[in-house]
């Protein structure tokens, strides 16, 4: 990991002269959108250095490798565009309101004007070759974490009296997880935000009464 100067920029090697400085925040945002749009395997090293406007040596000095950059991008995605998920899960609101917010939040995330449609991790590495097993496991782990977080939120709803005590929290969380991942696919196929909002509203009809 490169230690950043106070200004948030990373020294980048430049042959035959003074090293220029790479704006790491901007570079990570650019790389995130590129991976988001093209996928990991669809994004070549040539694509990355062209988008970031750096030399190969500067890229390796700043990020180490394409895989290391991707892992950092996933962290940026979780802390940036997808940060609402953890915020809603932890928020002090009733369980139903939380899941309405999750449905609406994902519909918004998947259709943002300044980002590619869909989701960075919803179907990442679904058919990964053996050499990408570690990244496949990373993506699966994120999806499993999200589903487990929703199940825990439902159990919290039971404890707080928002839901009947006999609900199948794991099963209901799996249902909402499937809806969310389906919404991501629909968004990449051109679904509008309003249509995804409607999908979320229909999904909420499965809410226990």
- Give the CATH number, domain containing residue 153: 1.10.357.10
Distance from C-alpha of 183 to C-alpha of 185, rounded to nearest angstrom: 5
- Contacts of the segment 128-133: beta carbons below 8 A, 24+ positions apart: 128/41, 132/40, 132/41
What's the pLDDT tens digit per position in 27-51?
999 999 999 999 999 999 999 999 9
115 and 57 within one domain: no
32, part of any domain:
yes
The answer to whether 123 and 184 have CB atoms below 8 angstroms apart is: yes
Mean pLDDT of the region 89-105: 98
8 A C-beta contact, residue 164 and residue 106:
no
Residue 13 sits in the same domain as residue 102: no
What are the φ/ψ torsions at residue 22 (nearest 5 degrees)?
Answer: -100, 125
More confident residue, 70 or 128: 70
- Among 57, 77, 97, the domain boundary falls at 77
Residues 93 and 178 grouped into a single domain: yes
170 lies in some domain: yes
When the pLDDT of each residue in the chain is averaged and rounded to a whole number, the result is 92
Same domain membership, residue 167 and residue 105: yes
Give the domain-ending residue among 54, 77, 100. Answer: 77
Give the pLDDT score at 123: 87
- Quick one: 41 and 16 in the same domain? yes
Q: What is the pLDDT of residue 10?
A: 52
Domain contains 86: yes
70 shares its domain with 102: no
Question: Last residue of a domain, which of 49, 77, 105?
Answer: 77
Q: Are residues 104 and 16 in the same domain?
A: no
20: confidence class by pLDDT, cuts 50, 70, 90: low
Interatomic CA distance for residues 196 and 209, integer angstroms = 23
Instruction: Confirm whether 188 is domain-assigned.
Output: yes
Q: What is the mean pLDDT of residues 52-67?
A: 95
Contact 206, 175 (CB under 8 A): yes
Asked if 21 and 10 touch (Cβ cutoff 8 Å), the reply is yes
Which of 76, 70, 67, 78 has its CA nearest to residue 146?
Answer: 78
Domain that holds residue 148: 81-206
Comparing 20 with 87, the larger pLDDT belongs to: 87
Number of compact structural domains in the chain = 2
Are residues 29 and 56 both part of a single domain? yes
**Residue 78: predicted pLDDT:** 97
pLDDT at position 5 is: 33
Same domain, 114 and 181: yes
Q: What digits encode the pLDDT tens for the residues 105-134?
A: 999 999 999 999 999 999 899 888 999 999
Is residue 143 a part of any domain in this protein? yes
Residue 32 neighbours by CB distance under 10 Å:
23
Percent of the chain surpassing pLDDT 70: 90
Q: Looking at the structure, do residues 58 and 144 belong to the same domain, yes or no?
A: no
Which pLDDT score, from 0 to 100, does residue 4 have? 32
Q: Is the pLDDT of residue 15 over 50?
A: no
**Gyration radius from the chain CA atoms:** 20
Q: What is the mean pLDDT of residues 142-165?
A: 98
87/164 same-domain check = yes
Is residue 83 predicted with pLDDT exceeding 80?
yes
In a domain, 1, yes or no: no
Same domain, 122 and 54: no
Q: Is residue 124 part of a domain?
A: yes
């Amino acid at each position: 990991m490169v230690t950043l100067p106070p200004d948030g920029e990373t020294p980048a090697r430049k042959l035959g002269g003074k090293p220029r400085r790479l704006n790491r925040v901007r570079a990570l945002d650019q790389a995130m959108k590129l991976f988001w749009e093209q996928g990991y395997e669809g994004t070549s090293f040539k694509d990355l250095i062209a988008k970031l406007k750096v030399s190969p040596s500067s890229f390796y000095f700043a990020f180490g490798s394409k895989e290391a950059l991707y892992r950092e991008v996933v962290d940026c995605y979780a802390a940036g565009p997808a940060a609402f998920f953890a915020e809603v899960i932890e928020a002090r609101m009733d369980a139903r309101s939380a899941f309405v917010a999750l449905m609406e939040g994902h519909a918004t995330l998947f259709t943002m004007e300044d980002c590619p449609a869909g989701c960075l991790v919803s179907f990442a590495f679904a058919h990964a070759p053996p050499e990408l097993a570690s990244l496949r496991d990373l993506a699966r782990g994120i999806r499993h974490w999200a589903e487990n977080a929703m199940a825990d939120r439902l159990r919290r709803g039971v404890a707080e009296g928002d839901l009947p005590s006999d609900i199948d929290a794991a099963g209901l969380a799996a249902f909402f997880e499937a809806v969310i991942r389906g919404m991501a696919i629909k968004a990449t196929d051109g679904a509008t935000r309003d249509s995804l909002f409607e999908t979320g509203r229909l999904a909420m009809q499965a809410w226990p009464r």
